[in-house]
Structure 1
Amino acid sequence: MADVQASAPTLVLTNSDLLSWILTFVAAPRMRGSRSKSHDPSRLAPCATVCRAFHEIAIRLLWRSLPSLIPLWHLFAPPNTKRPPSSTLQGDKRPDYLRKVVSARLYDDPQVWERFLCYTTRVRHIAHSTYSSDSPETTVLQLYLIQVIVLKNGGNPVLPLLHSILWAAKAPTDNSLVALFAPTLRSATLSLQSVPGDEETRALLFRRLHESSPHLENIELGSGYNSDKDLAVGPLLVQELLLFDRLRQLTVHCGLSGPATFLAFVAKPNLTSLSVRNVSGPSNAPHSPPTVVRDLVELSIEGTGPTLVGLFELVRFEALESATIRIENSPDVRQETEDVLTAFHNTLTSPSTLRGFTLCIYGWGSKAEGPAISLRDLVRPVLPLQEICSFKFSSHSIRPQIEVADIAALTGAWPNLERLVLDAHPPSSSDAFSLDALHYIHAHCPQLRDLDTHSICLPVLGVHAIPAPLERPSSSAHALRRLWASGVYVYRPEYKPGRIVAEHAEALARYLLELFPALDMEEYKPWVPRPGVRQTSAPGHCLDGRKVLARMYTLTSERERELQ
């Protein structure tokens, strides 16, 4: 049989990389256009029983990323013990399960222990979180199991090939964390609430992390939950974090205790990405001379307008390529936004390096005073940055008008713009993204490939003129590949949007396909829920947006069938 040429299916089954890709696709989300990157590991389980070739790859993928510690404990569970549900909203079912695991003591069985060690070498990513609905007994039992495993393993790392960890548990878990630190660890997301005590205690934990995992490249402090927002990173913790020589990405969801902390991070050698929240303490005194930042490529920062202005006066960026600025809403947010963007522009020693820019105005506490502001006036200080190819504006606090003149100003200032995201509620349904604005992009922005807008406003026939698509040869069709609109409104003078009917959806779908024939229709493929899975509810205007996008997919499919 050795001289028999392998068939194509056989070659696929013997190529582990191809099998991994195929099975990963099987577990991919079925909802096209979804921004979620999560997979459904349960879809891989049947693949492990198809054939021997699929078994090893499927098992490897199933164990590569664990959403909790439960799969590990299930290796010690008595026969016929069902795993508890992951959701605790209807009550935490895990204490009964964990008590059975602890009382069985199957980890003392040499054969079971060897099987456990075999599976732990497959784990590359692990997450562990606790929520308000969790039972305290669950935390106690899991910590007990970790301690037992550490002692039985001779103090060696529980997961010897672990690559990344997310630990958002709200419990005294410093000893448990250390048990999971391994030399192979490259990424760590740790909630500071996981470590009780003062800053010195937290600094000690990160010292042990550096001793165990000196090659960390990505550290995220705080899990992004509001529980960490009131905590601050002080000088002792900063000193320990600066010891990670290979650190490339640092995200701090909690606050920073003073501008000196910000400067220490932003100027850290080899750090290429920094994301920070509010910086406490005065920062309005200019630092002379400003700190030159040579390595940072990506910056994300949020805070009040005056704080951000003060911080930007302290630095000069030489290689910044992407910036995200989040400004806290205030009654004078318009002037503060102008001041912040002007100060940011002055930080760039080489404005031509900036490729991506995101502006977000967050918070609901105060309403901006005065008339509605146009988007082009809001971002005027950064319009001279001519090399920007990706721009995102997001706000649910202020509602800027986005007209054809705004699109013309942005695309005229940024001729290389390929991605435009406008995630902001319009002042009224009549101020939503108009067909005139879409037609302007069709006519004057042939390089744009990704457009994401909050809503599209349908005109009223007899009142508004609908511009006709340009007559272009197929070889020069517009390059737009993705168009996404959360809602579709019918024009009305008042704010309350009108619902669309089937005729509206049909007309808009055909018009969009005429404007942008290169759209990737897989983005709009209707989602067919799996048995027992309900479709997520959504406001009426969101359902209207789905109607239009689904109709675009149907029309394209019908055209393709006619050409066959």
Structure 2
Amino acid sequence: MIFAFVDEATLAACALVCRPWKEPALDELWKHLDSLLPLFGLLFDVEALLLGGGEYPENLLMRGVDWLKFRSYAQRVRSIDIEPGSLSLFHVNMALLAVASIDHPFGSLFLPHVHRLELGLDFKLLDEEAAALFPSLQGLAPNLQELSITFTSPILVGDLEAPLSRWISSLQHLTKLWLPPYYQPKMIVTAAGELKELKVLKIMVKSAMVANEEGMQMEFAPNTFPMLRALAWNSSLPNAFQLLQPSPRVEALESLYLDCSGYDDHVTIPTFTRLIGHACPRLREVSLILLPDWWTRAESSVGPLDMEVLYGLAPCENLVTLQIGHPFPMTLNESDVHWIGRSWRNLERLVLCVDPDLDRPINPRMGASILALPLLAELLPNLTRLGLYFRESDVMRFSGDLHPQHQFKNLRTLQLIREGIRFSYTTKQNIPSPKIGSGGKAMNLRSTFAPAACAAEILCKSSDPTNGGDLAGFQGWVC
């Protein structure tokens, strides 16, 4: 509309000015696609295909395709998300993807420069469809470096295991692989272990799914995972203890995330962390979610964690991230804070049992002292994220100043929980800003902690999950 009423000379001048912008602009516009449909729209009438219920005559599929135009766009794509909505086109006519990715003048390289792919699968994908889908994907982006697979609904381990593992083993340049929770079956693990350049093997997100033994078969077989540096997986504590026995592959790990949905007394948590410190001294990131199985364990047999859990990690001198989730708060005294500061001076993220299970009785003396905040700011100057549970026995009013936005030079997120109330303090470039959520009401730090502490408003939210709180378990943890 801007140029609707200008003359030809003006249009020509604008074209000359805009011509240098054309290629960079197209590169940016097509660099990431959140669906396959824009590309397939260059090949055939997607709308007609959708209206026809997925049926499309194969003899009409590629009629009149401008392959040069298609290639000019396809080679710009660097990252793509394939959601179940676009895959549903191929549930009826699986030949569609095969034809689109193979039968064209430029060979089988449908997206030659794509290095990241996110693939969403759902229960509609049957075994016979998967057998046709994954070989087609092999030609879709053969130079993949990053692959993340998500399930929009629970899928049994055996349903897609064979075709998916064959596809993964063909991705020889893959460096990062994310799998759904409880989806590390033996065949998939074997395929991933054969990849010579794989550095990251993780689960996508913390989930409340029921533990599945078939999906927790991570192992380090001989001559596998030669370059692995980051591992995140679901496991029982005894299985994790067995996996992390000292070996060159374990020693090379720099990032470790364990989602343990149940543990027993066969392997205690301090024993496990001592193994981590001994076997993985190069670790820079440690995240442990430790949830006991309340169905099989007496409530009285589960107690809060103590400093013995952290002492075991002392050999990991280069830690920058330490996150531990547990049903009970962790008690920290002044001497404990000093020890943390001496052991891991470069810590950037420290989150210790910040989301306790509020359905369990919590001793008011559990947790950290509110007075630890200035000390943490002094001892850990690089902190960008801090999460602690403060004990109820502390007197909230005290002499002295509490200025999080000044004392913590690099802090971006401060999560404080006390008496079932959660305070979330966020900053942007060290400038306080409110973080408002469902069911929350703003509260002033000044009136909560100390006179003239700071003028920032923070979130005060009930931790009761039935009252809009967000502390039920550890659903927000992302790996």
Q: Structure 2 length normalisation: TM-score?
A: 0.64
Task: Choose from 373, 383, 387 the match for 1:453.
Answer: 387
Change (3 A) 1:170 1:236: closer
- Give the equivalent residue in structure 1 for 2:374: 439
Q: Does 1:521 align with 2:458?
A: no
Q: Does 1:552 align with 2:479?
A: no
The 8 Å contact of residues 329 and 389 in structure 2, kept in 1 or not, is answered as no
**Residue by residue, what CA displacement relative to the aligned partner does 1:69-108 show, whole Å, maximum 9, x if unpaired?**
2323455788xxxx99xxxxxxxx99449889999x7964
- Give the equivalent residue in structure 2 for 1:325: 258
- Give the equivalent residue in structure 2 for 1:249: 176
Superposition deviation, residue 306 in structure 1: 1.5
Write the mapping of 1:76-155 to structure 2, written as runs, cut at 5 A: 95-96=50-51, 108-109=63-64, 114-130=68-84, 138-140=89-91, 146=97, 149-150=100-101, 153-154=104-105
* Structure 1 counterpart of 2:80, one-letter code: I
What is the distance in 1 between the residues matched to 2:275 and 2:142? 36
What is the distance in 2 between the residues matched to 1:73 and 1:264? 30
Q: Does 1:272 align with 2:231?
A: no
* Structure 1 counterpart of 2:255, one-letter code: S
SS at match of 1:308: helix
Superposition deviation, residue 226 in structure 1: 5.4
Superposition deviation, residue 441 in structure 1: 0.9
Superposition deviation, residue 484 in structure 1: 1.4
Unaligned runs of 5+ in 2: 1-14, 204-210, 459-479
- Give the equivalent residue in structure 2 for 1:66: 33
Write the mapping of 1:370-519 to structure 2, written as runs, cut at 5 A: 370=301, 372-395=303-326, 397-402=327-332, 404-422=334-352, 424-426=354-356, 434-446=369-381, 448-453=382-387, 464-468=397-401, 480-486=409-415, 495-497=419-421
Superposition deviation, residue 520 in structure 1: 4.9
Superposition deviation, residue 164 in structure 1: 2.6
SS at match of 1:168: strand
What is the distance in 1 between the residues matched to 2:43 and 2:164? 38
Change (3 A) 1:240 1:160: closer
Change (3 A) 1:224 1:119: same
Q: Does 1:164 align with 2:164?
A: no
Q: Does 1:540 align with 2:440?
A: yes
What is the distance in 2 between the residues matched to 1:140 and 1:163? 26
Give the helix-richer structure, 1 or 2: 1
The 8 Å contact of residues 168 and 194 in structure 1, kept in 2 or not, is answered as no
**Residue by residue, what CA displacement relative to the aligned partner does 1:453-484 show, whole Å, maximum 9, x if unpaired?**
166789997x64244469xxxxxx85631241
Change (3 A) 1:324 1:378: same
Task: Choose from 287, 290, 295 the match for 1:358.
Answer: 287
| Count of matched residue pairs | 417
What is the distance in 2 between the residues matched to 1:279 and 1:241? 22
* Structure 2 counterpart of 1:437, one-letter code: A
- Supply the RMSD in Å over aligned alpha carbons: 5.5
* Structure 2 counterpart of 1:227, one-letter code: P
The 8 Å contact of residues 436 and 467 in structure 1, kept in 2 or not, is answered as no
- Give the equivalent residue in structure 2 for 1:558: none
What is the distance in 1 between the residues matched to 2:161 and 2:97? 30
Task: Choose from 284, 297, 314 the match for 2:229.
Answer: 297
* Structure 1 counterpart of 2:376, one-letter code: I
The 8 Å contact of residues 369 and 390 in structure 2, kept in 1 or not, is answered as yes
* Structure 1 counterpart of 2:38, one-letter code: P
> Sequence identity, in percent?
18
SS at match of 1:323: strand
SS at match of 2:127: coil
Q: Structure 1 length normalisation: TM-score?
A: 0.56
**Residue by residue, what CA displacement relative to the aligned partner does 1:85-132 show, whole Å, maximum 9, x if unpaired?**
xxxxxxxx99449889999x7964466x6544432232222212227x
The 8 Å contact of residues 289 and 325 in structure 2, kept in 1 or not, is answered as yes
